Amino acid sequence: MTVLRRITRPLVYVWASPTTLVGLTAGVLTLATGGRAQVRRGALEFHGGFSRWLLERRVVRASAMTLGHAIIGRDPECLDRCRDHEQAHVRQVERWGGMFIPVYVLASAWAWGRGRHYYLDNWFEIDARRACGDEA
Protein backbone atom coordinates (compact mmCIF):
# COMPACT_ATOMS: atom_id res chain seq x y z
CA MET A 1 0.00 0.00 0.00
CA THR A 2 1.47 3.35 -1.01
CA VAL A 3 1.99 6.13 1.51
CA LEU A 4 -0.61 8.31 -0.21
CA ARG A 5 -3.18 5.51 -0.10
CA ARG A 6 -2.39 4.87 3.57
CA ILE A 7 -3.12 8.53 4.29
CA THR A 8 -6.22 8.91 2.12
CA ARG A 9 -7.94 5.58 2.87
CA PRO A 10 -9.13 6.60 6.36
CA LEU A 11 -10.46 9.86 4.89
CA VAL A 12 -12.53 7.86 2.38
CA TYR A 13 -14.09 5.89 5.24
CA VAL A 14 -14.92 9.15 7.05
CA TRP A 15 -16.39 10.65 3.85
CA ALA A 16 -18.64 7.59 3.40
CA SER A 17 -19.51 7.32 7.11
CA PRO A 18 -23.01 8.91 7.02
CA THR A 19 -24.15 6.18 4.62
CA THR A 20 -22.15 3.51 6.44
CA LEU A 21 -23.91 4.40 9.71
CA VAL A 22 -27.23 3.42 8.10
CA GLY A 23 -25.64 0.10 7.08
CA LEU A 24 -24.17 -0.47 10.52
CA THR A 25 -27.60 0.08 12.06
CA ALA A 26 -28.94 -2.68 9.80
CA GLY A 27 -25.89 -4.76 10.76
CA VAL A 28 -26.51 -4.39 14.48
CA LEU A 29 -30.16 -5.37 13.96
CA THR A 30 -28.96 -8.36 11.93
CA LEU A 31 -26.59 -9.53 14.66
CA ALA A 32 -29.27 -8.96 17.34
CA THR A 33 -31.65 -11.23 15.42
CA GLY A 34 -29.29 -14.15 14.94
CA GLY A 35 -27.46 -12.99 11.82
CA ARG A 36 -23.74 -13.17 11.16
CA ALA A 37 -21.00 -10.82 9.94
CA GLN A 38 -17.82 -11.13 7.92
CA VAL A 39 -15.25 -8.74 6.46
CA ARG A 40 -14.60 -8.87 2.72
CA ARG A 41 -12.69 -6.39 0.54
CA GLY A 42 -12.80 -3.58 3.11
CA ALA A 43 -16.53 -3.86 3.81
CA LEU A 44 -18.50 -5.44 6.64
CA GLU A 45 -20.99 -7.94 5.26
CA PHE A 46 -24.01 -8.99 7.31
CA HIS A 47 -26.41 -11.82 6.51
CA GLY A 48 -29.37 -13.63 8.00
CA GLY A 49 -31.66 -12.29 10.72
CA PHE A 50 -32.91 -8.76 10.06
CA SER A 51 -31.01 -8.53 6.75
CA ARG A 52 -32.79 -11.58 5.36
CA TRP A 53 -36.14 -10.31 6.64
CA LEU A 54 -35.66 -6.84 5.08
CA LEU A 55 -34.37 -8.07 1.73
CA GLU A 56 -37.25 -10.52 1.36
CA ARG A 57 -39.90 -7.80 1.80
CA ARG A 58 -41.99 -7.02 -1.25
CA VAL A 59 -40.82 -3.40 -1.28
CA VAL A 60 -37.11 -4.33 -1.39
CA ARG A 61 -36.82 -7.86 -2.86
CA ALA A 62 -33.05 -8.03 -3.26
CA SER A 63 -30.30 -10.55 -2.65
CA ALA A 64 -28.01 -7.90 -1.17
CA MET A 65 -27.80 -4.15 -0.56
CA THR A 66 -24.89 -1.79 0.00
CA LEU A 67 -25.07 0.94 2.61
CA GLY A 68 -21.64 2.55 2.68
CA HIS A 69 -18.97 0.13 3.79
CA ALA A 70 -21.67 -2.20 5.12
CA ILE A 71 -23.35 -4.72 2.86
CA ILE A 72 -26.37 -6.70 3.93
CA GLY A 73 -27.34 -9.96 2.27
CA ARG A 74 -29.92 -12.67 2.65
CA ASP A 75 -27.26 -15.35 3.19
CA PRO A 76 -23.56 -16.03 2.48
CA GLU A 77 -24.34 -17.43 -0.98
CA CYS A 78 -26.17 -14.24 -2.01
CA LEU A 79 -23.23 -12.18 -0.77
CA ASP A 80 -20.77 -14.33 -2.74
CA ARG A 81 -22.88 -14.06 -5.89
CA CYS A 82 -23.41 -10.28 -5.58
CA ARG A 83 -20.03 -9.22 -4.18
CA ASP A 84 -18.63 -7.60 -7.35
CA HIS A 85 -21.85 -5.65 -7.92
CA GLU A 86 -22.08 -4.54 -4.29
CA GLN A 87 -18.40 -3.55 -4.24
CA ALA A 88 -19.14 -1.27 -7.21
CA HIS A 89 -21.72 0.43 -4.98
CA VAL A 90 -19.10 0.73 -2.21
CA ARG A 91 -16.89 2.64 -4.68
CA GLN A 92 -19.88 4.85 -5.59
CA VAL A 93 -20.44 5.66 -1.92
CA GLU A 94 -16.74 6.47 -1.60
CA ARG A 95 -17.25 9.06 -4.36
CA TRP A 96 -20.61 10.49 -3.21
CA GLY A 97 -20.17 10.25 0.57
CA GLY A 98 -23.19 11.22 2.63
CA MET A 99 -25.07 12.32 -0.48
CA PHE A 100 -25.20 8.79 -1.88
CA ILE A 101 -28.62 7.77 -0.52
CA PRO A 102 -30.43 10.99 -1.54
CA VAL A 103 -28.80 11.03 -4.98
CA TYR A 104 -29.57 7.32 -5.48
CA VAL A 105 -33.24 8.01 -4.66
CA LEU A 106 -33.24 10.96 -7.06
CA ALA A 107 -31.74 8.76 -9.79
CA SER A 108 -34.58 6.27 -9.27
CA ALA A 109 -37.17 9.06 -9.39
CA TRP A 110 -35.54 10.45 -12.54
CA ALA A 111 -35.69 7.07 -14.29
CA TRP A 112 -39.29 6.47 -13.16
CA GLY A 113 -40.33 9.99 -14.18
CA ARG A 114 -39.01 9.31 -17.68
CA GLY A 115 -41.09 6.15 -17.95
CA ARG A 116 -38.16 3.85 -17.18
CA HIS A 117 -37.71 1.25 -14.46
CA TYR A 118 -36.84 2.86 -11.10
CA TYR A 119 -34.22 0.18 -10.31
CA LEU A 120 -32.95 -1.29 -13.56
CA ASP A 121 -32.60 2.12 -15.21
CA ASN A 122 -31.14 3.88 -12.17
CA TRP A 123 -27.73 5.25 -13.21
CA PHE A 124 -26.04 3.78 -10.11
CA GLU A 125 -27.34 0.30 -10.95
CA ILE A 126 -26.32 0.60 -14.60
CA ASP A 127 -22.85 1.69 -13.47
CA ALA A 128 -22.57 -1.20 -10.97
CA ARG A 129 -23.60 -3.75 -13.59
CA ARG A 130 -21.08 -2.31 -16.03
CA ALA A 131 -18.32 -2.22 -13.40
CA CYS A 132 -18.62 -5.92 -12.66
CA GLY A 133 -18.94 -6.99 -16.28
CA ASP A 134 -22.68 -7.55 -16.41
CA GLU A 135 -24.59 -6.15 -19.34
CA ALA A 136 -25.63 -2.59 -18.61
Q: Is position 121 within any domain?
A: no
pLDDT tens for each residue of the chain, 136 residues long:
688 888 888 999 999 999 999 999 999 999 999 999 999 999 999 999 999 999 999 877 899 999 999 999 999 999 999 999 999 999 999 999 999 999 999 999 999 999 999 999 999 999 999 987 776 5
Helix (H) or strand (E) holding 67: strand 64-67
Q: Is position 32 within any domain?
A: yes
Q: Is position 11 within any domain?
A: yes
DSSP secondary structure string for all residues of 7-60: HHHHHHHHHHHHHHHHHHHHHHHHHHTT-EEEEETTEEEEESHHHHHHHTSTTT
Domain carrying residue 18: 3-97
Q: Is position 125 within any domain?
A: no
Give per-residue burial for 28-58: e unless 16+ CB within 10 Å, then b.
ebbbeeebebeeeeebbbbbbbbbbebbeee
Q: Is position 132 within any domain?
A: no
Q: How far apart are CA 128 and CA 114, in angstroms?
A: 21
Q: How far apart are CA 39 and CA 31, in angstroms?
A: 14
Domain count, the chain: 1
